[in-house]
Amino acid sequence: MVRKKKEYTPRDIGQHKLRPESLMMGYGYRPEWSEGAIKCPIFQTSTFAFRSAEEGKAFFELAYGLREKAPGESLGLIYSRLNNPDLEILEDRLTLWDEAEAAAVCTSGMAAIATVAFTFLRPGDVLLHSEPLYGGTEHLFTQVLPQFGIDVVNFPAGPAGCEAAEEALSDKSVADRVGMIFIETPANPTNDLVDIAHCADLAKRCCSKRKPVVAVDNTFLGPLFQHPLKFGADLAIYSATKFIGGHSDLIAGAVLGSEELIAKVLETRTFLGTASGPWTGWLILRSLETLKLRMTSQMKNARYVADFLADHPKVDKVNYLGHLTEDDPQFELYRRQCVAPGAMVAFEVHGGEAEAFRFLNALKLVHLAVSLGGTESLAEHPATMTHSDIPAADQPRMGITPALVRISIGVEHYEDVIADLDQALAAV
């Protein structure tokens, strides 16, 4: 099978531009490449035979950056740590939702984030990030990267974020060393927002020596409901384990951006060995066919669930983007930056950890598990589970209280999910 970019499934019919959901079943692949198979085969192979020694030499020259690509030339297949047809087709398909030029798929969301960090940060650099972050990212940034000489500075997600980020960059010794601005929006688990366009502007305006890369972890809303690259971000990052994979049966990550930046990420991916495998790639290709169906259904269910929780006497507070009202300081940003409120709801049970645990232990349909974005609803306790790495003294400042429960809403019938939450709240 030789994939030729020019011969892909067309992206439009005459003047009519095809939408991503229509291209998810076949873009980047043609049945005639593989015996007419309507679906792309799984290329479960570690290595690829060269047709000649000259071809092998030419492929390696590109892979190791020994010469520039000739016009229209793409990297040939060498070895599955560098590239594999299932991954390449998946990467092409993933670019469509975010209208990115290129993508790199990694073994996990953390592998994607670590690969990006090792691509764009060097000893002496500052990493400026929003907080809270996903627990694993927080650990990588605050515990691991400092061991490589990287200084980490943070600012809060939510209404105070813009001013705090600006303030951090008003210190010239920080501004001159920023190698990357990394934000997670909506923030996990609070749904607090960070203004992507403002961060992109700060990167241009405040960092005089070089423009830092602006990377956005878009796991919570994307790729359907938020498109960071349109707001000036350089990279959109996903834990594909979540909505993109969508069935709680695989671990993967992805980075999207310009050809130029993704080429750098791919080089790091090759040498850190963080490329995903063909089987996972194939599973995600299958997942992408129903991405819009799943995310739309989950988003609709989440609204019913959030409305139910907001009216419940044993619930003190609901963090749900669909409940932001015009008088909320984040409302304008939400309307500008997000397409829909997504399927993540966090709420405070009346009481504290004991009450939250009683609720979680009483669930019958909704599973008590970390992770999110799958077809089944999942509930967890951020303070002692996903975000337990954040010192207890720092958690409340980020909105992570002992009473907080996070729920990822699945595709079940919403009345069944609500019935389960109702009986579990009765146990509180």
Give the number of other CB atoms < 10 A from CB of residue 140. Answer: 18
Compute the 3-state secondary structure of the chain and give helix, strand, coil in percent, each to the nearest 5: 40, 15, 45
Is 219 a binding residue for ligand PLP by CB under 6 A? The answer is: yes
Distances (CA, A) of 41 to 37, 44, 89, 253, 375: 8, 9, 11, 21, 25
For ligand PLP, which stretch binds (CB under 6 A), given 33-41, 103-111, 347-355, 417-425? 103-111
CB of 217 to ligand PLP, least distance (A): 5
In three state form, how does the secondary structure of 123-138 look? Answer: CCCEEEEEECCCHHHH
Binds ligand PLP (CB under 6 A): choice among 239, 274, 287, 330: 239
Give yes or no for a contact between 314 and 280, defined as CB atoms under 8 angstroms apart: no
Rule CB under 6 A: say whether 242 interacts with ligand PLP: yes
**DSSP code string of 115-168:** HHHHHH--TT-EEEEEES--HHHHHIIIIIGGGGT-EEEEEESSTTHHHHHHHH
Say which amino acid occupies 292. K
24-32, 235-243, 311-319, 331-339 -> range binding ligand PLP (CB under 6 A)? 235-243
The region of 97-105, 214-222, 310-318, 343-351 touching ligand PLP under the rule CB under 6 A is: 214-222
Shortest Å, Cβ 276 to ligand PLP: 10
Query: Which of the stretches 58-66, 234-242, 294-302, 315-323 binds ligand PLP when contact is defined by CB under 6 A?
Result: 234-242
DSSP letter (8 states) at residue 187: P
CB of 246 to ligand PLP, least distance (A): 13
Q: Does residue 241 bind ligand PLP (CB under 6 A)?
A: yes
Contact between 212 and ligand PLP per CB under 6 A: no
Number of residues that bind ligand PLP (CB under 6 A): 16
User: Is 226 a binder of ligand PLP (CB under 6 A)?
Assistant: no
Of 82, 102, 90, nearest in space to 268 by CA: 82
SS3 state at 110: helix
What residues between 113 and 152 interact with ligand PLP by CB under 6 A?
134, 136-137
- Contact flag: residue 217 with ligand PLP (CB under 6 A): yes
The pairing of strands 126-131 and 315-319 is unpaired
Nearer of residues 115 and 297 to ligand PLP, judged by Cβ: 115
Q: How far is the CB of 194 from ligand PLP (least distance, A)?
A: 12
DSSP secondary structure string for all residues of 24-43: TTTTT--GGGTTT-SSPPP-
Of residues 161-200, those binding ligand PLP (CB under 6 A): 184, 188
Give, in order, the Cα–Cα distances in Å from 235 to each of 37, 165, 227, 255, 260: 34, 19, 10, 7, 11
- Identify the CA nearest to 173 among candidates 126, 123, 120: 126
Q: Are 242 and 219 in contact (CB under 8 A)?
A: yes
The answer to the question of residue 400 lying near ligand PLP (CB under 6 A) is no
280 scored as a contact of ligand PLP (CB under 6 A): no
Q: Give yes or no for a contact between 255 and 247, defined as CB atoms under 8 angstroms apart.
A: no
* Residue 269 vs 312, nearer CB to ligand PLP: 269
Pairing between strand 102-106 and 12-13? Answer: unpaired
Beta bridge partners of 151: 126
> Smallest distance from the beta carbon of 237 to ligand PLP, in angstroms?
8
Q: Which of 151-159, 212-220, 343-351, 356-364 is the region at the interface with ligand PLP (rule: CB under 6 A)?
A: 212-220
- Residues between 245 and 264 with contacts to ligand PLP, criterion CB under 6 A: 251, 253
Q: Which of 80, 84, 95, 108 binds ligand PLP (CB under 6 A)?
A: 108
352 binds ligand PLP (CB under 6 A): no
| CA dist., res. 309 & res. 422, Å (int) | 9
Tell which residue, 114, 120, 234, has the closest CA to residue 178.
Answer: 120
Instruction: Compute the distance between CA of residue 75 and CA of residue 67 in angstroms, rounded to an integer.
Output: 12
Residues 304-343 that bind ligand PLP (CB under 6 A): none
Least gap, CB of 134 to ligand PLP (angstroms): 3
Stretch of 102-110, 145-153, 361-369, 404-412 contacting ligand PLP, by CB under 6 A: 102-110
Give the nearest residue (CB) to ligand PLP. Answer: 109
- E strand or H helix at 279: helix 278-289
Site residues (CB under 6 A) for ligand PLP? 108-110, 134, 136-137, 184, 188, 217, 219-220, 239, 241-242, 251, 253
